[in-house]
Structure 1
Amino acid sequence: MSSTIKVAVIGAAGRMGREVVKMVLEDEALQLVAAVSPSAGAIDAGALVGKPNTGVTVSATIEEALEHSGADVMVDFTVPAAAYHNTSTAIRYGVRPIIGTTGLTPEQIEQLDKLCKEKGIGGLIAPNFSIGAILMMKFAAEASKYMPHVEIIEYHGDQKLDAPSGTSIKTAELISQVRQELRQGNPNEEETIEGARGGYYNGFRIHSVRLPGVFAQQEVIFGGYGQTLKIRHDSYERAGYMPGVNLAVKKVMTYAGLIYGFEHLMD
Protein backbone atom coordinates (compact mmCIF):
# COMPACT_ATOMS: atom_id res chain seq x y z
CA MET A 1 0.00 0.00 0.00
CA SER A 2 1.27 3.46 -0.88
CA SER A 3 2.46 5.59 2.03
CA THR A 4 1.56 8.79 0.18
CA ILE A 5 -0.93 10.91 2.13
CA LYS A 6 -3.85 12.10 0.01
CA VAL A 7 -4.83 15.68 0.78
CA ALA A 8 -7.91 17.79 0.07
CA VAL A 9 -7.58 21.58 0.44
CA ILE A 10 -10.69 23.60 1.32
CA GLY A 11 -10.55 27.31 0.58
CA ALA A 12 -7.96 26.58 -2.10
CA ALA A 13 -8.34 29.94 -3.84
CA GLY A 14 -7.77 31.91 -0.64
CA ARG A 15 -4.42 33.33 0.31
CA MET A 16 -3.67 30.60 2.84
CA GLY A 17 -5.30 27.91 0.72
CA ARG A 18 -3.01 28.66 -2.22
CA GLU A 19 0.03 28.25 -0.01
CA VAL A 20 -1.28 24.90 1.21
CA VAL A 21 -1.86 23.70 -2.36
CA LYS A 22 1.72 24.67 -3.29
CA MET A 23 3.12 22.98 -0.19
CA VAL A 24 1.29 19.73 -0.99
CA LEU A 25 2.42 19.76 -4.62
CA GLU A 26 6.04 20.31 -3.59
CA ASP A 27 6.19 17.37 -1.12
CA GLU A 28 6.59 13.90 -2.66
CA ALA A 29 5.11 12.34 0.48
CA LEU A 30 1.82 14.15 -0.17
CA GLN A 31 -0.66 13.93 -3.03
CA LEU A 32 -3.26 16.57 -3.86
CA VAL A 33 -6.52 14.76 -4.63
CA ALA A 34 -9.12 17.51 -4.16
CA ALA A 35 -9.43 21.28 -3.92
CA VAL A 36 -12.49 23.36 -3.08
CA SER A 37 -13.35 26.96 -3.85
CA PRO A 38 -16.92 28.11 -4.55
CA SER A 39 -15.66 31.12 -6.51
CA ALA A 40 -12.70 29.81 -8.51
CA GLY A 41 -14.59 27.92 -11.19
CA ALA A 42 -13.72 24.51 -12.62
CA ILE A 43 -10.01 25.09 -13.19
CA ASP A 44 -7.05 22.85 -12.50
CA ALA A 45 -5.67 23.27 -8.97
CA GLY A 46 -2.15 23.62 -10.34
CA ALA A 47 -3.13 26.57 -12.51
CA LEU A 48 -4.71 28.16 -9.45
CA VAL A 49 -1.27 28.51 -7.84
CA GLY A 50 0.86 29.05 -10.94
CA LYS A 51 2.06 25.46 -11.25
CA PRO A 52 1.63 22.83 -14.00
CA ASN A 53 -1.73 21.09 -14.28
CA THR A 54 -2.31 18.40 -11.68
CA GLY A 55 -5.40 16.68 -13.07
CA VAL A 56 -7.33 17.87 -9.99
CA THR A 57 -10.21 20.16 -10.91
CA VAL A 58 -11.31 22.64 -8.28
CA SER A 59 -14.74 21.70 -6.87
CA ALA A 60 -17.47 24.10 -5.77
CA THR A 61 -18.48 22.17 -2.63
CA ILE A 62 -16.75 20.02 -0.07
CA GLU A 63 -19.22 17.19 -0.65
CA GLU A 64 -18.39 17.12 -4.35
CA ALA A 65 -14.67 17.14 -3.57
CA LEU A 66 -14.67 14.36 -0.99
CA GLU A 67 -17.21 12.02 -2.57
CA HIS A 68 -14.76 10.14 -4.78
CA SER A 69 -11.36 11.65 -3.93
CA GLY A 70 -10.20 9.03 -1.43
CA ALA A 71 -8.66 11.83 0.64
CA ASP A 72 -6.91 10.93 3.90
CA VAL A 73 -6.66 14.50 5.21
CA MET A 74 -8.56 17.74 4.69
CA VAL A 75 -6.88 21.10 5.31
CA ASP A 76 -9.32 23.98 5.86
CA PHE A 77 -8.46 27.68 5.82
CA THR A 78 -11.84 29.27 5.16
CA VAL A 79 -14.09 31.41 7.39
CA PRO A 80 -15.59 30.77 10.85
CA ALA A 81 -19.12 30.41 9.45
CA ALA A 82 -18.05 27.47 7.27
CA ALA A 83 -15.53 25.74 9.51
CA TYR A 84 -17.93 23.58 11.53
CA HIS A 85 -19.80 22.34 8.46
CA ASN A 86 -16.57 21.57 6.63
CA THR A 87 -15.08 19.73 9.59
CA SER A 88 -18.14 17.63 10.40
CA THR A 89 -18.55 16.79 6.69
CA ALA A 90 -14.93 15.64 6.41
CA ILE A 91 -15.29 13.44 9.49
CA ARG A 92 -18.47 11.91 8.05
CA TYR A 93 -16.46 10.89 4.99
CA GLY A 94 -13.71 9.47 7.21
CA VAL A 95 -11.30 12.26 6.24
CA ARG A 96 -9.03 13.65 8.96
CA PRO A 97 -9.63 17.40 9.41
CA ILE A 98 -6.88 19.96 9.93
CA ILE A 99 -8.51 23.30 10.67
CA GLY A 100 -6.65 26.59 10.58
CA THR A 101 -9.87 28.60 10.70
CA THR A 102 -10.57 30.16 14.10
CA GLY A 103 -13.93 30.95 15.67
CA LEU A 104 -15.24 27.48 16.64
CA THR A 105 -16.90 27.39 20.06
CA PRO A 106 -15.78 25.03 22.86
CA GLU A 107 -19.06 23.15 22.42
CA GLN A 108 -18.43 22.68 18.70
CA ILE A 109 -14.88 21.48 19.36
CA GLU A 110 -16.15 18.97 21.91
CA GLN A 111 -18.73 17.65 19.44
CA LEU A 112 -16.15 17.34 16.66
CA ASP A 113 -13.81 15.47 19.01
CA LYS A 114 -16.63 13.02 19.73
CA LEU A 115 -17.26 12.52 16.00
CA CYS A 116 -13.55 11.89 15.34
CA LYS A 117 -13.36 9.29 18.09
CA GLU A 118 -16.48 7.55 16.80
CA LYS A 119 -14.81 7.31 13.38
CA GLY A 120 -11.46 6.33 14.87
CA ILE A 121 -9.63 9.15 13.07
CA GLY A 122 -7.45 12.04 14.16
CA GLY A 123 -8.09 15.74 13.73
CA LEU A 124 -6.49 19.07 14.58
CA ILE A 125 -7.74 22.57 15.21
CA ALA A 126 -4.84 25.02 15.40
CA PRO A 127 -5.24 28.77 15.87
CA ASN A 128 -1.68 29.14 14.62
CA PHE A 129 0.62 26.83 12.63
CA SER A 130 3.73 28.97 13.00
CA ILE A 131 6.38 27.13 15.00
CA GLY A 132 7.70 30.49 16.24
CA ALA A 133 4.23 31.47 17.46
CA ILE A 134 3.85 28.18 19.31
CA LEU A 135 7.18 28.78 21.04
CA MET A 136 6.01 32.30 21.95
CA MET A 137 2.93 30.78 23.62
CA LYS A 138 5.01 28.22 25.52
CA PHE A 139 7.50 30.86 26.70
CA ALA A 140 4.65 33.13 27.80
CA ALA A 141 3.04 30.38 29.85
CA GLU A 142 6.38 29.64 31.53
CA ALA A 143 7.00 33.34 32.28
CA SER A 144 3.55 33.75 33.83
CA LYS A 145 4.53 31.38 36.65
CA TYR A 146 7.00 33.99 37.87
CA MET A 147 5.48 37.24 36.55
CA PRO A 148 1.69 36.87 36.85
CA HIS A 149 0.88 40.46 35.81
CA VAL A 150 0.37 40.14 32.05
CA GLU A 151 -1.45 41.64 29.09
CA ILE A 152 -1.62 40.53 25.46
CA ILE A 153 -1.65 42.78 22.40
CA GLU A 154 -2.35 41.13 19.05
CA TYR A 155 -2.16 42.82 15.67
CA HIS A 156 -3.86 41.72 12.44
CA GLY A 157 -5.10 43.22 9.20
CA ASP A 158 -8.36 45.11 9.19
CA GLN A 159 -10.23 42.37 7.29
CA LYS A 160 -9.83 39.72 10.01
CA LEU A 161 -13.28 38.57 11.07
CA ASP A 162 -12.77 37.54 14.70
CA ALA A 163 -11.40 39.42 17.69
CA PRO A 164 -9.51 38.60 19.74
CA SER A 165 -7.49 36.27 17.55
CA GLY A 166 -7.47 32.53 18.08
CA THR A 167 -3.75 32.74 18.81
CA SER A 168 -4.26 35.23 21.65
CA ILE A 169 -7.07 33.15 23.14
CA LYS A 170 -4.93 30.03 23.00
CA THR A 171 -2.06 31.95 24.63
CA ALA A 172 -4.42 33.11 27.38
CA GLU A 173 -5.62 29.55 27.93
CA LEU A 174 -2.07 28.25 28.28
CA ILE A 175 -1.21 31.03 30.72
CA SER A 176 -4.34 30.33 32.77
CA GLN A 177 -3.39 26.67 33.12
CA VAL A 178 -0.35 27.64 35.21
CA ARG A 179 -1.40 31.02 36.66
CA GLN A 180 -4.11 31.52 39.26
CA GLU A 181 -6.69 34.16 38.40
CA LEU A 182 -5.40 37.57 39.41
CA ARG A 183 -7.46 40.68 38.76
CA GLN A 184 -4.95 43.29 37.65
CA GLY A 185 -4.94 47.07 37.76
CA ASN A 186 -6.47 49.51 40.21
CA PRO A 187 -9.61 47.95 41.73
CA ASN A 188 -11.33 51.33 41.36
CA GLU A 189 -10.32 51.95 37.73
CA GLU A 190 -13.06 53.23 35.43
CA GLU A 191 -13.19 53.09 31.65
CA THR A 192 -14.20 56.51 30.38
CA ILE A 193 -14.40 54.95 26.90
CA GLU A 194 -15.96 51.48 26.86
CA GLY A 195 -13.45 48.78 25.96
CA ALA A 196 -10.39 50.94 26.57
CA ARG A 197 -8.89 48.31 28.85
CA GLY A 198 -9.40 45.52 26.32
CA GLY A 199 -11.12 42.17 26.66
CA TYR A 200 -11.10 40.54 30.10
CA TYR A 201 -9.72 36.99 30.44
CA ASN A 202 -9.09 35.35 33.79
CA GLY A 203 -7.95 38.58 35.41
CA PHE A 204 -5.86 40.02 32.57
CA ARG A 205 -6.55 41.84 29.32
CA ILE A 206 -6.31 41.09 25.61
CA HIS A 207 -6.12 43.99 23.15
CA SER A 208 -6.89 43.55 19.44
CA VAL A 209 -5.41 45.92 16.86
CA ARG A 210 -6.91 45.84 13.33
CA LEU A 211 -5.16 47.94 10.69
CA PRO A 212 -4.45 47.74 6.97
CA GLY A 213 -0.83 46.89 6.23
CA VAL A 214 -0.52 44.62 9.26
CA PHE A 215 -0.06 40.88 8.76
CA ALA A 216 0.09 39.04 12.12
CA GLN A 217 1.94 39.88 15.30
CA GLN A 218 1.45 39.21 18.99
CA GLU A 219 3.12 40.65 22.05
CA VAL A 220 2.78 39.28 25.57
CA ILE A 221 3.84 41.88 28.15
CA PHE A 222 4.71 41.00 31.75
CA GLY A 223 5.13 43.59 34.47
CA GLY A 224 7.00 43.26 37.75
CA TYR A 225 8.71 45.43 40.31
CA GLY A 226 11.06 47.70 38.38
CA GLN A 227 10.97 45.63 35.20
CA THR A 228 8.95 44.40 32.25
CA LEU A 229 9.34 41.40 29.98
CA LYS A 230 8.02 41.35 26.41
CA ILE A 231 7.69 38.17 24.36
CA ARG A 232 6.82 38.95 20.76
CA HIS A 233 6.30 37.00 17.57
CA ASP A 234 5.96 38.50 14.08
CA SER A 235 4.74 36.70 10.98
CA TYR A 236 5.65 38.33 7.68
CA GLU A 237 4.16 35.99 5.08
CA ARG A 238 1.83 33.00 4.86
CA ALA A 239 4.54 30.65 3.65
CA GLY A 240 5.91 30.75 7.20
CA TYR A 241 2.96 28.62 8.36
CA MET A 242 3.55 25.83 5.86
CA PRO A 243 6.20 23.79 7.76
CA GLY A 244 3.67 23.52 10.58
CA VAL A 245 0.82 22.55 8.25
CA ASN A 246 3.06 19.95 6.62
CA LEU A 247 3.91 18.43 10.01
CA ALA A 248 0.23 18.43 11.00
CA VAL A 249 -0.80 16.56 7.83
CA LYS A 250 1.66 13.79 8.64
CA LYS A 251 1.04 13.64 12.39
CA VAL A 252 -2.77 13.55 12.11
CA MET A 253 -2.47 10.10 10.53
CA THR A 254 -1.08 8.67 13.78
CA TYR A 255 -3.81 9.23 16.41
CA ALA A 256 -7.59 9.30 17.00
CA GLY A 257 -9.61 12.20 18.39
CA LEU A 258 -9.51 15.94 17.84
CA ILE A 259 -6.54 17.89 19.20
CA TYR A 260 -6.93 21.61 19.90
CA GLY A 261 -3.61 23.43 19.58
CA PHE A 262 -0.56 22.77 17.44
CA GLU A 263 1.66 22.80 20.53
CA HIS A 264 0.51 19.24 21.34
CA LEU A 265 2.26 18.03 18.17
CA MET A 266 5.54 19.59 19.35
CA ASP A 267 5.76 17.77 22.70
Structure 2
Amino acid sequence: MSDTQQDSGSIRVAVLGAHGRMGRRAVDAISEAADIELVARLGSSDRLDAALDAGATHVLDLTVPEASPQNAAFAVEHGLHAVIGTSGWDASRREQLVAQLGQSPRVGVLIAPNFSLGSVVASAVAAKAARWFESVEVVELHHPDKADAPSGTAVRTAELIGQARAEAGVPASPDATRHDPHGARGAVVDGVHVHAVRLRGLHAHQEVLLGGPGEQLTVRHDAFDRGAYMPGVLLGLRAVASHPGLTYGLDGYLDLD
Protein backbone atom coordinates (compact mmCIF):
# COMPACT_ATOMS: atom_id res chain seq x y z
CA MET A 1 0.00 0.00 0.00
CA SER A 2 1.45 3.36 -0.97
CA ASP A 3 1.77 6.41 1.28
CA THR A 4 -0.84 8.10 -0.92
CA GLN A 5 -3.32 5.34 -0.11
CA GLN A 6 -2.53 5.54 3.59
CA ASP A 7 -2.85 9.33 3.78
CA SER A 8 -6.03 9.59 1.72
CA GLY A 9 -8.23 8.32 4.53
CA SER A 10 -10.13 6.06 2.15
CA ILE A 11 -11.34 2.70 3.38
CA ARG A 12 -11.26 0.04 0.67
CA VAL A 13 -12.02 -3.36 2.12
CA ALA A 14 -11.29 -6.90 1.03
CA VAL A 15 -13.43 -9.37 2.97
CA LEU A 16 -11.75 -12.72 3.65
CA GLY A 17 -14.30 -15.46 4.29
CA ALA A 18 -16.85 -13.49 2.31
CA HIS A 19 -18.98 -16.52 1.47
CA GLY A 20 -19.60 -17.68 5.04
CA ARG A 21 -22.65 -16.70 7.07
CA MET A 22 -20.86 -13.88 8.88
CA GLY A 23 -18.99 -12.88 5.74
CA ARG A 24 -22.17 -12.47 3.71
CA ARG A 25 -23.70 -10.19 6.33
CA ALA A 26 -20.50 -8.15 6.50
CA VAL A 27 -20.42 -7.79 2.71
CA ASP A 28 -23.97 -6.40 2.78
CA ALA A 29 -23.20 -4.00 5.63
CA ILE A 30 -20.04 -2.69 3.98
CA SER A 31 -21.82 -2.30 0.64
CA GLU A 32 -24.46 -0.14 2.32
CA ALA A 33 -21.93 2.09 4.15
CA ALA A 34 -21.43 5.39 2.31
CA ASP A 35 -17.87 5.91 3.57
CA ILE A 36 -16.50 2.38 2.98
CA GLU A 37 -15.85 0.70 -0.35
CA LEU A 38 -16.01 -3.06 -0.83
CA VAL A 39 -13.31 -3.96 -3.35
CA ALA A 40 -12.94 -7.75 -2.99
CA ARG A 41 -14.87 -10.76 -1.73
CA LEU A 42 -12.44 -13.62 -1.15
CA GLY A 43 -13.14 -17.23 -0.26
CA SER A 44 -10.86 -20.05 0.85
CA SER A 45 -9.79 -20.87 -2.70
CA ASP A 46 -8.91 -17.30 -3.66
CA ARG A 47 -5.40 -15.81 -3.66
CA LEU A 48 -4.67 -13.23 -0.99
CA ASP A 49 -2.89 -11.23 -3.67
CA ALA A 50 -6.33 -10.50 -5.10
CA ALA A 51 -6.79 -8.01 -2.24
CA LEU A 52 -3.75 -6.10 -3.46
CA ASP A 53 -4.90 -6.30 -7.08
CA ALA A 54 -8.21 -4.77 -6.02
CA GLY A 55 -6.49 -1.84 -4.30
CA ALA A 56 -7.58 -2.74 -0.77
CA THR A 57 -6.40 -0.62 2.15
CA HIS A 58 -8.08 -2.83 4.76
CA VAL A 59 -8.89 -6.52 5.17
CA LEU A 60 -11.71 -7.96 7.22
CA ASP A 61 -10.83 -11.51 8.25
CA LEU A 62 -13.85 -13.72 8.97
CA THR A 63 -12.24 -17.04 8.12
CA VAL A 64 -11.16 -19.94 10.37
CA PRO A 65 -8.53 -20.19 13.14
CA GLU A 66 -6.20 -22.22 10.93
CA ALA A 67 -6.05 -19.52 8.25
CA SER A 68 -6.36 -16.31 10.26
CA PRO A 69 -2.70 -15.94 11.38
CA GLN A 70 -1.49 -16.30 7.80
CA ASN A 71 -4.05 -13.76 6.64
CA ALA A 72 -2.99 -11.30 9.33
CA ALA A 73 0.70 -11.76 8.50
CA PHE A 74 -0.06 -11.09 4.82
CA ALA A 75 -1.95 -7.91 5.68
CA VAL A 76 0.81 -6.58 7.92
CA GLU A 77 3.53 -7.45 5.41
CA HIS A 78 1.73 -5.49 2.68
CA GLY A 79 0.72 -2.52 4.83
CA LEU A 80 -2.98 -3.32 5.01
CA HIS A 81 -4.94 -2.54 8.14
CA ALA A 82 -6.74 -5.61 9.44
CA VAL A 83 -9.93 -6.23 11.40
CA ILE A 84 -10.12 -9.82 12.60
CA GLY A 85 -13.26 -11.53 13.82
CA THR A 86 -11.88 -15.06 13.78
CA SER A 87 -11.40 -17.05 16.99
CA GLY A 88 -8.25 -18.88 18.08
CA TRP A 89 -6.07 -15.86 18.79
CA ASP A 90 -4.51 -16.98 22.06
CA ALA A 91 -1.70 -15.13 23.80
CA SER A 92 1.09 -16.83 21.86
CA ARG A 93 -0.48 -16.00 18.50
CA ARG A 94 -1.01 -12.39 19.55
CA GLU A 95 2.62 -12.13 20.64
CA GLN A 96 3.77 -13.31 17.21
CA LEU A 97 1.52 -10.75 15.55
CA VAL A 98 2.88 -7.96 17.76
CA ALA A 99 6.40 -8.93 16.68
CA GLN A 100 5.36 -8.74 13.02
CA LEU A 101 3.77 -5.34 13.59
CA GLY A 102 7.08 -4.09 14.91
CA GLN A 103 8.27 -4.07 11.29
CA SER A 104 5.18 -2.11 10.15
CA PRO A 105 4.61 0.61 12.76
CA ARG A 106 1.91 2.41 10.77
CA VAL A 107 -0.36 -0.62 10.42
CA GLY A 108 -3.30 -1.13 12.74
CA VAL A 109 -4.82 -4.53 13.60
CA LEU A 110 -7.96 -5.15 15.63
CA ILE A 111 -8.75 -8.62 16.96
CA ALA A 112 -12.35 -8.60 18.12
CA PRO A 113 -13.63 -11.60 20.11
CA ASN A 114 -17.06 -10.02 19.67
CA PHE A 115 -18.29 -7.25 17.37
CA SER A 116 -21.54 -6.65 19.25
CA LEU A 117 -21.34 -3.26 20.93
CA GLY A 118 -23.84 -4.40 23.56
CA SER A 119 -21.76 -7.44 24.38
CA VAL A 120 -18.58 -5.38 24.67
CA VAL A 121 -20.28 -2.91 27.00
CA ALA A 122 -21.78 -5.74 29.08
CA SER A 123 -18.36 -7.37 29.53
CA ALA A 124 -16.84 -4.05 30.58
CA VAL A 125 -19.64 -3.46 33.10
CA ALA A 126 -19.21 -6.98 34.50
CA ALA A 127 -15.47 -6.49 34.90
CA LYS A 128 -16.02 -3.18 36.68
CA ALA A 129 -18.58 -4.73 39.03
CA ALA A 130 -16.63 -7.94 39.69
CA ARG A 131 -14.21 -6.30 42.12
CA TRP A 132 -17.11 -5.60 44.50
CA PHE A 133 -18.56 -9.11 44.66
CA GLU A 134 -17.29 -12.19 46.45
CA SER A 135 -18.30 -14.63 43.71
CA VAL A 136 -18.40 -14.45 39.93
CA GLU A 137 -19.07 -16.99 37.18
CA VAL A 138 -19.80 -16.76 33.44
CA VAL A 139 -22.42 -18.73 31.52
CA GLU A 140 -22.35 -18.51 27.72
CA LEU A 141 -25.15 -19.96 25.61
CA HIS A 142 -24.90 -20.54 21.85
CA HIS A 143 -26.41 -22.49 18.99
CA PRO A 144 -25.15 -26.08 18.60
CA ASP A 145 -23.31 -25.34 15.34
CA LYS A 146 -20.67 -23.29 17.15
CA ALA A 147 -17.34 -25.12 16.96
CA ASP A 148 -15.42 -23.67 19.90
CA ALA A 149 -16.13 -23.70 23.63
CA PRO A 150 -15.95 -21.62 25.65
CA SER A 151 -16.69 -18.81 23.25
CA GLY A 152 -14.10 -16.16 22.52
CA THR A 153 -16.40 -13.61 24.10
CA ALA A 154 -16.62 -15.60 27.33
CA VAL A 155 -12.85 -16.01 27.45
CA ARG A 156 -12.38 -12.28 26.90
CA THR A 157 -14.96 -11.49 29.59
CA ALA A 158 -13.28 -13.81 32.08
CA GLU A 159 -9.89 -12.27 31.29
CA LEU A 160 -11.23 -8.78 31.95
CA ILE A 161 -12.88 -9.93 35.18
CA GLY A 162 -9.76 -11.77 36.35
CA GLN A 163 -7.59 -8.74 35.64
CA ALA A 164 -9.96 -6.37 37.47
CA ARG A 165 -10.17 -8.62 40.52
CA ALA A 166 -6.40 -9.14 40.62
CA GLU A 167 -5.79 -5.39 40.47
CA ALA A 168 -8.27 -4.87 43.32
CA GLY A 169 -6.79 -7.68 45.41
CA VAL A 170 -10.03 -9.67 45.43
CA PRO A 171 -9.46 -13.32 46.41
CA ALA A 172 -10.73 -16.27 44.40
CA SER A 173 -14.45 -16.98 44.48
CA PRO A 174 -15.28 -19.33 47.36
CA ASP A 175 -15.78 -22.91 46.22
CA ALA A 176 -15.68 -26.01 48.42
CA THR A 177 -15.78 -28.44 45.47
CA ARG A 178 -13.16 -31.15 45.84
CA HIS A 179 -14.66 -33.92 43.71
CA ASP A 180 -15.79 -33.16 40.13
CA PRO A 181 -14.90 -36.11 37.89
CA HIS A 182 -17.23 -34.97 35.09
CA GLY A 183 -16.13 -31.33 34.98
CA ALA A 184 -19.47 -29.98 36.13
CA ARG A 185 -17.83 -26.82 37.44
CA GLY A 186 -16.82 -25.84 33.90
CA ALA A 187 -13.65 -24.36 32.48
CA VAL A 188 -11.49 -21.96 34.48
CA VAL A 189 -10.19 -18.85 32.73
CA ASP A 190 -8.04 -16.48 34.80
CA GLY A 191 -9.61 -17.89 37.95
CA VAL A 192 -13.19 -17.47 36.68
CA HIS A 193 -15.43 -20.48 36.05
CA VAL A 194 -16.95 -20.43 32.56
CA HIS A 195 -19.85 -22.69 31.55
CA ALA A 196 -20.84 -23.33 27.93
CA VAL A 197 -24.36 -24.28 26.79
CA ARG A 198 -25.08 -25.45 23.23
CA LEU A 199 -28.79 -25.56 22.47
CA ARG A 200 -30.94 -25.45 19.35
CA GLY A 201 -32.95 -22.23 19.19
CA LEU A 202 -30.23 -20.05 20.73
CA HIS A 203 -27.96 -17.66 18.87
CA ALA A 204 -25.42 -15.92 21.16
CA HIS A 205 -26.06 -15.11 24.80
CA GLN A 206 -23.97 -14.52 27.90
CA GLU A 207 -24.65 -14.08 31.60
CA VAL A 208 -22.15 -12.94 34.18
CA LEU A 209 -23.39 -13.95 37.63
CA LEU A 210 -22.02 -11.91 40.54
CA GLY A 211 -22.87 -12.79 44.12
CA GLY A 212 -22.31 -11.30 47.53
CA PRO A 213 -23.88 -11.76 50.97
CA GLY A 214 -27.64 -11.60 50.49
CA GLU A 215 -27.61 -10.37 46.88
CA GLN A 216 -26.92 -11.27 43.26
CA LEU A 217 -26.27 -9.16 40.19
CA THR A 218 -26.70 -10.60 36.69
CA VAL A 219 -25.22 -8.87 33.65
CA ARG A 220 -26.75 -10.45 30.55
CA HIS A 221 -26.46 -9.77 26.85
CA ASP A 222 -28.48 -11.40 24.05
CA ALA A 223 -27.73 -11.33 20.33
CA PHE A 224 -30.53 -12.75 18.21
CA ASP A 225 -28.89 -12.70 14.78
CA ARG A 226 -25.68 -11.62 13.04
CA GLY A 227 -27.05 -8.15 12.40
CA ALA A 228 -25.99 -7.37 15.99
CA TYR A 229 -22.35 -7.52 14.92
CA MET A 230 -22.43 -5.20 11.93
CA PRO A 231 -22.17 -1.83 13.74
CA GLY A 232 -19.05 -3.14 15.47
CA VAL A 233 -17.58 -4.40 12.20
CA LEU A 234 -18.03 -0.98 10.62
CA LEU A 235 -16.66 0.77 13.70
CA GLY A 236 -13.57 -1.43 13.59
CA LEU A 237 -12.96 -0.71 9.91
CA ARG A 238 -13.38 3.02 10.45
CA ALA A 239 -11.10 3.20 13.50
CA VAL A 240 -8.33 0.65 12.92
CA ALA A 241 -6.08 2.91 10.81
CA SER A 242 -5.93 5.49 13.61
CA HIS A 243 -4.82 2.84 16.15
CA PRO A 244 -1.42 1.52 14.96
CA GLY A 245 -0.26 -1.76 16.43
CA LEU A 246 -2.45 -4.47 17.90
CA THR A 247 -5.72 -3.79 19.70
CA TYR A 248 -7.30 -6.81 21.36
CA GLY A 249 -11.00 -6.31 21.93
CA LEU A 250 -13.37 -3.75 20.46
CA ASP A 251 -13.47 -2.13 23.90
CA GLY A 252 -10.08 -0.66 22.94
CA TYR A 253 -11.92 1.68 20.57
CA LEU A 254 -14.66 2.66 23.03
CA ASP A 255 -14.41 5.05 25.96
CA LEU A 256 -15.33 2.52 28.63
CA ASP A 257 -12.80 3.67 31.27
SS of equivalent residue, structure 2 residue 66: helix
Asked if the contact 1:182/1:204 (under 8 Å) is kept, the reply is: no
Partner amino acid, structure 2, of 1:137? S
CA distance in 2, matches of 1:188, 1:259: 37
Partner amino acid, structure 1, of 2:245? G
RMSD (Å), alpha carbons: 1.6
From 124, 129, 133, give the equivalent of 1:138. Answer: 124
SS of equivalent residue, structure 1 residue 102: coil
Asked if the contact 2:134/2:173 (under 8 Å) is kept, the reply is: no
Q: Which residue is equivalent to 2:224?
A: 236
SS of equivalent residue, structure 1 residue 118: coil
Moved more, 98-107 or 181-190: 181-190
- CA displacement 1:78-112 (0-9 Å, x = unmatched): 11111111111121221111101111221111111
Q: How does 1:150-189 map to 2 (within 5 A)?
A: 150-180=136-166, 182-189=171-178
CA distance in 1, matches of 2:116, 2:164: 23
- Give the C-alpha shift of residue 214 in structure 1: 1.5
From 211, 225, 233, give the equivalent of 1:223. Answer: 211
Asked if the contact 2:162/2:191 (under 8 Å) is kept, the reply is: no
Q: How does 1:1-267 map to 2 (within 5 A)?
A: 3-38=9-44, 60-119=45-104, 120-180=106-166, 182-191=171-180, 193-267=181-255
- Give the C-alpha shift of residue 23 in structure 1: 1.1
- Give the C-alpha shift of residue 227 in structure 1: 1.2
Percent identity, aligned pairs only, is 40
CA distance in 2, matches of 1:64, 1:212: 39
Asked if the contact 1:10/1:78 (under 8 Å) is kept, the reply is: yes
In structure 2, the gaps of 5 or more residues are none
> How many equivalent residue pairs?
245
CA distance in 2, matches of 1:202, 1:129: 22
Q: Which residue is equivalent to 1:43?
A: none
- Give the C-alpha shift of residue 203 in structure 1: 3.0
SS of equivalent residue, structure 1 residue 32: strand
**Could you state the TM-score of these two structures normalised by the residue count of structure 1?**
0.87
- CA displacement 1:157-191 (0-9 Å, x = unmatched): 11212111110111111111210363334435311
Moved more, 175-184 or 207-216: 175-184
**Could you state the TM-score of these two structures normalised by the residue count of structure 2?**
0.90
Structure 1 residues 243 and 188, CA, compared in 2 at 3 Å: closer, same or farther? Answer: closer
